[in-house]
A = this chain, B = another copy of it.
Amino acid sequence: MKCLILAAGSGSRLRPRAESKPLFPFLGVPLIERTIRSALAAGADDFVVVTGYGEQPLRAFLERLSRRLGVPITTVTNPRWREAGNGASVLAAEPLLDEPFLLLMADHLFDPGLARRLIERGAPEAGLLLAVDGDCHNPLVDANDVTRVRREGDRIEAIGKGLEWYDGYDTGIFLATPALFEALRQAEAQGDTSLSGGVRRLAAQGRAKALEVSGGFWCDLDDEAALRRAEKALLARLRGKAHDGPVSRWLNRPLSIRLSRWLVRLPVTPNQVSLFSFALSVVAALLFMLPGYPALAAGGVLAQLASIIDGCDGEIARLKFQQSDYGGWLDAVLDRYADALLLFGLTWHLLQQGGGGVALVAGFLAIVGSFMVSYTADKYDGLMRARGGARFRMGRDVRVFLIFLGAVLDQPLAVLAVIALVMNFEALRRLVVCRNA
């Protein structure tokens, strides 16, 4: 599936924070790269980008991106980008497109799922399919600037910015056929060089259809206000991780998202964040091993801080399209080491104070129990997913928070005992649950 991306405009309403609007770094990734990666995820595999304003740096960037992603990206100049509307940009790419193609705007963000649904539905014969958002109260949309759509069933009846009667918004995500080019030429003959003009011609012939996508994520980054709204929305989506435990949900995640928002601007990889968080845990464990309360409390705070930062690796990976199986696995392995080191640190602390056999046994059982809950997680979680059962609520977020509390309140033995009891009981319970399944 080919994908045409319109990137010729000057983006004059955005202050010049980048060489051109498509190169504007949004949460660490240039807008054009976001669009291309989202389209890739939706199923496109061959790209045509129409350039105009600020062409040289954009072309150079796309050449590097093409090598980096291993997908073909062709650039086409729209010589009329200054004077004509965005329909002229589509026409500039006509020689390269002879099959149905995905048509996107370089300055729109969208959930790849929306574009995938368009591709799955398919374009009407010699026509066009547009993703239309029927939620006219969508807070991400600037109602005064958006292109409006009026529908009759799944047919587009009218489209345009000034439309008084309408029931949806143009998301800027199209599945078009080459018939669009002829329609654009007809519109241009009547003096309308906008893409909407072409769509209007097809609509008049009943060949422009709409796919309802209300509830899906998309937004048009026209000005500073839109940027701020979109950034907030994208960061809020990071909270949606279904398996976040209570401490993660109410404490760690809100803080780590703020941190990630800042970190995406730096050349820091998710794996580097995982390693940094692990290093903090090592230091926390070493502080535990020092005698006296101040070091213990400082270690507790540092352990909790490491746990918060541990959320950033996944968030940065999602925001910067850097998710990988290896990254998730490395994070899990380092977490196991960090857990064991923190619990060992507390045990050592107690033994120094003359904790004796009780402390040793509690520490050993806490370490072993935590490991066993992780070791049995794959099988148990798989079973619970299949059955729709509840997840175990004492995940790593809660364990580290207990360690933090235990250290700050100077109650390391109580924390070790609680973790030892709960974790080993849970491992035993899983043996029984999986047996009965």
Contacts and interface: CB of A to CB of B under 8 A. Distances in A.
Given A371-B375, A375-B375, A344 B326 contact: no
Interface of A: 326, 329-330, 333, 336-337, 340, 344, 348, 351, 360, 364, 367-368, 371-372, 374-376, 378-379, 427, 431, 434-435
Given A333-B372, A351-B360, 4 more contacts: A326-B435, A336-B372, A340-B368, A344-B368
19 contacts: A326-B435, A329-B434, A330-B431, A330-B435, A333-B372, A333-B375, A333-B427, A336-B372, A336-B375, A337-B368, A340-B364, A340-B368, A344-B364, A344-B368, A348-B360, A351-B360, A364-B367, A371-B375, A378-B378
B336 A371 contact: yes
Contacts of A376: 333
Q: Which 6 A-B pairs have the closest CB atoms?
A: A340-B368, A371-B371, A344-B364, A329-B379, A336-B375, A326-B435
A43 to B, nearest CB: 26
A372 B374 CA distance: 11
Nearest to A376: B333
A344 B329 CA distance: 27
Contacts of A337: 368, 372
A351 B379 CA distance: 36
A289 to B, nearest CB: 9
A330 B431 CA distance: 7
A326 B326 CA distance: 27
A434 B427 CA distance: 28
Contacts of A360: 348, 351
A364 to B, nearest CB: 5
A379 B372 CA distance: 17
A375 B339 CA distance: 14
Contacts of A333: 372, 375-376, 427, 431
Nearest to A348: B360
Nearest to A367: B367
Task: Name the residue in A351, A368, A372, A374 with the highest tally of chain B Cβ atoms < 10 Å from its Cβ.
Answer: A368
